[in-house]
Amino acid sequence: MADTHCSAAALLARRHSKEPVVCVRPHLLEAQAERLVDAFPGDVLYAVKCNDTPLVLQSLWNGGVRHFDTASINEIRLVRTLLPEATCHFMHPVKSTEAIAEAYFEHGVKRFVLDHVDELTKIVAATDGAEDLELFVRLAVPGQGAMLSLTGKFGVEVAEAVRLVRAVRWHAKEVGLTFHVGSQCVDPQAYRRAIDVAAEVVAETGSVDHLDVGGGFPALYKGDEPEFEAFVAVIETAVAEHGLVCRLQCEPGRALVADGASVLTKVELRRGRSLYLNDGVYGNLAELKWIGPQFPTRLVRPSGEVGGAQEAFDLFGPTCDSIDSMPGPHWIAAEAREGDWVEVGMMGAYSSALKTAFNGFEAGTVAILHDDGWYLPGLREPEQAARAA
C-alpha cells in the first residue's frame, strides 16, 4: 500500500525521495467518477489502458464505475481479480482467438467489438457459436477536434458497416455500433458528426440495441476545455434528433483519471532555461511530449511551494536519448535549480501506464496525497492559469 501524505512538500520532507513519485489522490478520482456516472445517460466504461494502477481502479469503483473497457486479456484478468463484480467489455477490434475464448468462458465477457468480417468469424468460432453475444461494429468517423487523431487504424465506412451489422445480426443476441472521435477532443460537435454517421447505418439496417460513443472526452489541462456535461448535452440532442432508441455507453479515460494524480520529478541540472529532470518521456511524462506544454506545473521544496516570477522552460528527461525531450514553454518558478522538485499536475492519464525502464532509469514510486489538487482549474494560481490559456 502506498504511504499517505497531506501535501507534496510534506511528502518530500518525510521521504527524502530521490526517485520520481506519482502522487495519487483517491478522493479526487472517486468524486470525478461519481460526477461522470451521474451525468451520462447510460453506462460509463472506464478505459483501463489509460491507467491500470490498482489504486486507481479501486477508487473509480468506489466512485460508482461498474463497467470497464478492457482492451486486452491481461486487463480483463486484472479487473476481474481486483473487482470480481465488475463487468468487462472487450472493446479492442482485433483480438486473438485464445483471448476471446478465455474472456468468454473464464471471465464471462459477452460484449466484443469488430470491424472486419474475419473478426466476426473468429469471435463466433472462439465462443463455440454462443447465443448470448453482444457484438459492436466499429465505425470510421471524422477526427476533427481531437488533439490525437485515431482515424486510420480502426473503423469502417458506412457501406461496410451496413454489411457487417447485417452479418452480426445472425450471431448476436444484441447489436451495437461504436466509434472513437480521437483523444483529447475539445469540440463537442465531433460527437454529433459521429452520431450522424451511426444514424446513416441505422437507417440502412434498422434499429440497434446499443450505441457506444467511445472516449476522447478531454481533461482540463489548460482549464478552458469544455466540461464533460457539454459533450453529454450534444450527444443527447443528436441521438434525439435522429430518433435513435438504444442504450448508450461511453468509454472515458482521461476525463475520469487525469485530475486524480500528479508527478514529482527532481531537477538534476539547470542549463539556462532548460531543466534536466529524473523523469521524462520514457517514464511518467510522455504526455508532456505528445500532448505538449499544457500541463500545470509548480516548483516544490520540502519547505513548500516556490512562488514568485515564472519563466518558460524546456524540459529534458534522464535518458541518454534525444527523444527524451519535452519542449516548452513550461512555466515554472524562475529560481528553479538543481535539487528542486517540479510537480506536474493533471498526470493521472497515460503517465504510469506508459512508463518503461528504458536506459536503466526506473519510473519511481507511488504515494497517496490528501490535498485538494492545486492544479485543478479553480485552484490554480491566476498567473499560471493565464499562462496555460
Could you tell me the CATH superfamily of domain 27-257?
Alanine racemase (3.20.20.10)
At residue 297, what are phi and psi to the nearest 5 degrees?
Answer: -135, 155
Identify the residue whose cell numbers are 506545473.
297
- Give dist(CA 381, CA 96) in Å, integer: 49
pTM across the whole model = 0.94
Active-site option among 88, 185, 250, 320:
320
Query: pLDDT truncated to tens, each residue of the chain (389 aa)?
Result: 577 878 888 899 887 778 999 999 999 999 999 999 999 999 999 999 999 999 999 999 999 999 999 999 999 999 999 999 999 999 999 999 999 999 999 999 999 999 999 999 999 999 999 999 999 999 999 878 778 777 778 999 999 999 999 999 999 999 999 999 989 999 999 999 999 999 999 999 999 999 999 999 999 999 999 999 999 999 999 999 999 999 999 999 999 999 999 999 999 999 999 999 999 999 999 999 988 899 999 999 998 889 899 999 999 999 999 999 999 999 999 999 999 999 999 999 999 888 999 999 877 889 999 999 999 988 777 656 556 55
**Grid cell 450522424 — which residue?**
196
Q: Which of 343, 358, 342 is nearest to 282 (CA)?
A: 358
Q: Following DSSP, what letter does each residue of 56-82 receive, concatenated? A: HHHHHHHTT--EEEE-SHHHHHHHHHH
CB 256 within 8 A of CB 65: yes
| Cα separation, 306 vs 14, whole angstroms | 18
Q: Exposed, middle or buried: residue 378 (CB in 10 Å: 0-12, 13-18, 19+)?
A: exposed
- Distance, CA of 284 to CA of 23 (rounded, Å): 11
Pick the CATH number of 3-23+258-388 from 2.40.170.20, 3.10.180.10, 2.40.37.10, 3.40.50.970: 2.40.37.10
- Residue spans of the domains in the chain: they are 3-23+258-388, 27-257
- φ, ψ (nearest 5 deg) of residue 302: -55, -25
Of 86, 81, 94, 54, the residue nearest 69 (C-alpha): 86
Q: What is the pLDDT of residues 33-69, one digit of tens each?
A: 999 999 999 999 999 999 999 999 999 999 999 999 9
Is 320 an active-site residue?
yes
Compute φ and ψ for 190, nearest 5 degrees. Answer: -60, -35
How many Cβ atoms are within 10 Å of 74's Cβ, its own excluded? Answer: 12
DSSP string, 319-331: SS-TT-EEEEEEE
Non-local (6+) Cβ contacts of 322 within 8 A are none
Element housing 262 (H / E): strand 261-271
Contact call for residues 91 and 113 (beta carbons, < 8 A): yes
210-212 and 174-178 beta bridge pairing: parallel
